[in-house]
Amino acid sequence: EANTIVIEPDAPHLGPVVVRQVAGLIARRIVCSVKPGDRVRAGQRIGLIKFGSRTELILPRVPGLNISTKIGQKVSAGETVLASWPTGAAK
């Protein structure tokens, strides 16, 4: 089971930002708390995968975007900063 959320940021941010929730063979239960047209903000919970699996984050190619994590690194929802805009850039 998989669920894809496409977030179109407000100007001047570049997008889209894609969040893909992927449930494993055992979990197979995704809960998504946002609906088409909803506005989301940084740090907001947008869903969960019961019994865990993985979440994929696809960011636009933006010059100077600082990726703060490494492939395969374990992160905590609402705690780990995944990426940040360069200082002085549009947010």
Catalytic site positions: 53
- Report how far residue 78's alpha carbon sits from residue 42's, in angstroms, rounded to the nearest whole number: 9
- Report how far residue 65's alpha carbon sits from residue 83's, in angstroms, rounded to the nearest whole number: 7
- Report how far residue 70's alpha carbon sits from residue 23's, in angstroms, rounded to the nearest whole number: 21
